[in-house]
Amino acid sequence: MNGKITAIVILSLFILLNYVNAQEMLEDVFYFHLIIYKNDTVTLDKFEIIEGVPSDFPGISLSLNYSILLLSTENNVIFRGQLPISFTAYPMPPEGQPEVEVMLNESEQYLRLPYFENIDRMEIYHDNKLIFTYEICDVNNLCEDRKGETTLNCPDDCELKITCGNNKCETGETQENCCKDCGCQKGMECVNNKCVSEKCGNDKCDANENYNTCSKDCPSGLGDGYCDGVKDGLCDPDCQKNEDVDCNSSKLFIYIIIGIVIIGLIFLILIKSRRGE
């Protein structure tokens, strides 16, 4: 019986730790499904931002012929990886027959590259020849975050041009980004182009106050309807996934508590089984 209980404890901890590690390893990645042809043409079948683990790329010391780069809006190389492209296949031969080499015209690639917010484009090289470029921003008046567009790499789509301070609440202007022109809601006043509660400073987080409008009364990490995302060791209950770095450490703490509870339950089972013997 003791051996079974010990095995259950070890298995439970193993499953819990693997689950925690898997959750912690997931991150946003650039996902590319590409077809690279022998004649140096490339077809992009799919591109999006997904949660996953970046692909493993061979070290640069191998000097492979194909490489993939991510470049920033400042034209700096943020990421470089080598692609083990092969146009040779060895299909399973019939029983008793020798293996036969088959030459292919294309190589299909499923790549997960590290995500960076300021990426401007992806490039693929064959030796020193540029054979493919993918621009993140396509300028279609839509800010497509799942395609990697941000205010940094695609301001034409993601950043509205506004003129704050001309006494006109124009398209793109709101109480949050231009209270000079759009004013503030009842009980708020515009101070330094920011809506602040008229009661701010009374040491009470009132109904219309939050960390953004009155950090004096509503400290970071408080459930006030506003995600502040400040790194302070407190998981803001108003934040969604990945909006507050402190929430990741809080999840780990929860997993540890779950593990302790599991061990405690098994310990109780062990005590009861001994009393029954």
pLDDT in tens, 36-74: 999 999 999 989 888 888 998 876 555 578 999 999 988
Q: Bigger pLDDT: 207 or 4?
A: 207
Structure tokens at 192: 């330094």
Average pLDDT, the chain: 79
Judge whether residue 105 has pLDDT over 90: yes
Could you tell me which of 225, 216, 220 has the C-alpha nearest to residue 197?
216
CB 106 within 8 A of CB 35: yes
DSSP 3-state of 150:
coil
Pseudo-torsion of CA 174, 177, 183, 184, nearest 10°?
90
Q: How far apart are the first and last CA of the chain?
A: 10
Q: Bigger pLDDT: 227 or 13?
A: 227
- Condensed to tens digits (0 to 9), the pLDDT of residues 235-257 reads 778 776 666 666 765 455 566 67
Distance from C-alpha of 173 to C-alpha of 149, rounded to nearest angstrom: 21
Determine which of 19-28, 44-53, 75-84, 139-148 has the lowest per-residue pLDDT on average: 19-28
What does DSSP assign to residue 223?
Answer: -
The phi-psi region of residue 264 (left if phi > 0; otherwise alpha if psi is between -120 and 50; otherwise beta) is alpha
Q: Bigger pLDDT: 173 or 28?
A: 28
Structural domain spans, the chain? 2-24+247-276, 28-158
Please report the pLDDT score of residue 13 as a whole number. Answer: 57
